[in-house]
Structure 1
Amino acid sequence: MKQASVIGLIVLLIVLYSSMFTVKMTENAVVLQLQEYKKTITEPGLYFKIPVIQSVKYFSKQLLVNDDEAYEVITKDKKTLLIDNYSMWRIVDPLKFLQTVRTERGGASRLDDLIKSELRVELGTHDLVDAIVNTREQIMNKVTEEVDKKAADYGIQVTDVRIKRADLPPEIANSIFNRMRTERERIAKEYRSEGKEEATKIRAETDKEKTILMAEAYEEEQKIRGEGEKESIRIYAEAYSRDPDFYAFMRSMEAYKNSLKTDTTVLMDEKSDFLEYLNKIR
């Protein structure tokens, strides 16, 4: 009898435990009875259900973030962009959410489809530069608004949709980078060509200035040399006019010095004027 009471108490505790469930502050709960909707619980606390017959589905009240995989979008000017976006959303109607997409994963998948569709439509009406730079904020606000309207059918409220990254597809990016590299190389060659041309001009101008300076210096040199020789001739002439014999003697001595300073043998007539002063010594 005592053993039966213990077993009965244990069964009662198990039944009581299985009939209780807790709803947290961050959750909503949907109670199902034989898989049919019974009620929605939005307030936190301890609640009871009929074991086996009734079951509970929990859905987060918190703001959820969904990061989609990158996908291609074509803009108005026929440019292809690789878009990587994220969205922020919450479950506002647990019953409708359960009936349509059932789980958070299902909701995220359906939301991704809606966002891709709206982004393709909206970006298809804008050129690439506008979509990336000029009207990006307006585009994302409009996409958020449109997706939120459609997501309401699934019990979802969309608070924000943003493009995290917008790139060109790898094959197009490589083509553009190669074209940019070619263009930069062309510009570099132009700069080098212009530099060489400028260097040639500078060298030519420098050579011209050098030639002019050399010519002017040579002219000045010849002028100074001419004036010096003129002055020398004048001095010689003055000295000669004062004592012609002495001048003749000095000139002869200088001639002797220059012609007789080597071992060269000179054969001359003894009556030669050149030997005049040497003959006088004898």
Structure 2
Amino acid sequence: MTGTLRHFRPGVFALIVALLLGVSGISVVTENEQAVIERLGEPNRVINRFSPTGPSGAGLVAKIPLVESMVVLPRGLVTYSLAAKRVRTADQQWLLADTDVTYRIIDPVKLSETLGSAVKTEDQLKALLRPLLDQEVGSRNAVVVAQPGAGGANEAMRRALDGGVRQYGLQVVDLRIARLALDEGSLASAYDRMEQRHEATLAEIEVKSANDALAVTSAAEAEATARRKRSADQDPEFYSFYRAMRSYDELYGDPKRKNTVTIVLPPDSGYLEHFGGK
């Protein structure tokens, strides 16, 4: 029995090795993946290459064990985000910008040859995107960058970034500045400017209000003078009586001046004729 096992041991070992090699030679590519089969380090064929018509080769993939290897890449859209990039606008405002880039791999062989794997794509996107942000945002005022489309900066950066990554087999489908915020220094400066504008507006309102009040008072006094003149022209005797009563009120009507004013007048004074029943 022992001799029989010894006789079959090499065959069993070979069978196990064959099975292991056979299993390692079978891989699965899903519908959301595309794969480059490399033979001895060189691209040989592409499985489930991206196509607008949809997946075409997903499923089990056979490759030669120890000779061929498989580089798996995303087949659909991929999003990369560059967060809190500090940029300065044309009007010298420092902003923190979050930028989202949507791309896809359209040439998996080129990507495999240049970058080796999809992991390195983000490094290339980051290296190209940073100077583009400085250039495009730096040529626009902060108010323009805050508008939809960042005042044309989004599309300009998308075209430039797409042209820069085509050498890696990538296509930039969309790029947009997702969020803008003032950094601490610019935020404090903005608050100071807002306070200065508020104070200037308040001072302008106060001056205008004072001028309006003066104009209203002047108009009222002019109207009162005109009315008194018309009254005097219509009844001079009554107007003389009215003026005497007003002067008497000014002299004695104020409680604070009571018993503090003394007037000595002769009996035939014209001022007293209104109080003598004449």
- Alpha-carbon distance, 1:148 to partner: 0.9
Report what 1:246 is aligned to.
Answer: none
Cα distance in 1 for partners of 2:35, 2:27 equals 10
Aligned to 2:137, which of 114, 123, 126?
123
Query: Which has a greater percent of helix?
Result: 1
2:144–2:151 CA contact under 8 A, matched in 1: no
Residue 121 of structure 1 deviates from its aligned partner by 2.6
Partner Cα distance (2:187, 2:114) in 1: 40
Residue aligning to 1:39: 45
Residues 67-82 of structure 1 correspond to what in structure 2 (within 5 A)? 67-82=81-96
Letter in 2 for 1:175: S
Instruction: State the Cα distance separating 1:119 from its structure 2 match.
Output: 3.1
Post-superposition Cα deviations, 1:180-213, rounded to whole Å, max 9, x if no partner, equal: 1232133234435655676688789999999xx9
Residue of structure 2 equivalent to 1:105: 119
8 Å CA contact 1:101, 1:110 repeated in 2: no
Q: The residue matched to 2:191 in structure 1 has which SS?
A: helix
Matched pairs, number: 225
For 2:141 and 2:84, the matched residues in 1 are separated by 20
Which residue does 2:110 correspond to in 1? 96
Instruction: Please give the per-residue CA displacement for 1:53-74, whole angstroms capped at 9, x wherever unaligned.
Output: 3221100111001110222333
The answer on whether the counterparts of 2:93 and 2:186 sit within 8 Å (CA) in structure 1 is: no
- Equivalences for residues 182-193 of structure 1 within 5 A: 182-192=196-206
2:81 maps to a residue whose letter is: D
2:70 counterpart residue number:
56
Are 1:148 and 2:154 matched, yes or no?
no
SS at match of 1:120: helix
SS in 2 for 1:70: strand
Q: Distance in 1 between matches of 2:208 and 2:131?
A: 52
TM-score normalised over the length of structure 2: 0.64
Deviation at 1:146?
1.8
Partner-residue secondary structure (3-state), 2:200: helix
TM-score when normalising by structure 1 = 0.63
Given residue 170 of structure 1, which amino acid in structure 2 is its aligned partner? E
Is 1:17 the counterpart of 2:23? The answer is yes
Unmatched 5+ residue regions in structure 2?
50-56, 228-236, 242-278
1:171 to 152, 170, 185: 185
Rg (Cα) greater in structure: 1
Cα separation, 1, equivalents of 2:77 and 2:117:
15
Shift of 1:155: 0.9
Report percent identity of matched pairs: 26
Structure 2 CA distance for aligned equivalents of residues 126 and 119 of structure 1: 11
**Is the Cα contact below 8 Å between 1:87 and 1:158 reproduced in 2?**
yes
| Equivalent position of 2:274 in the other structure | none
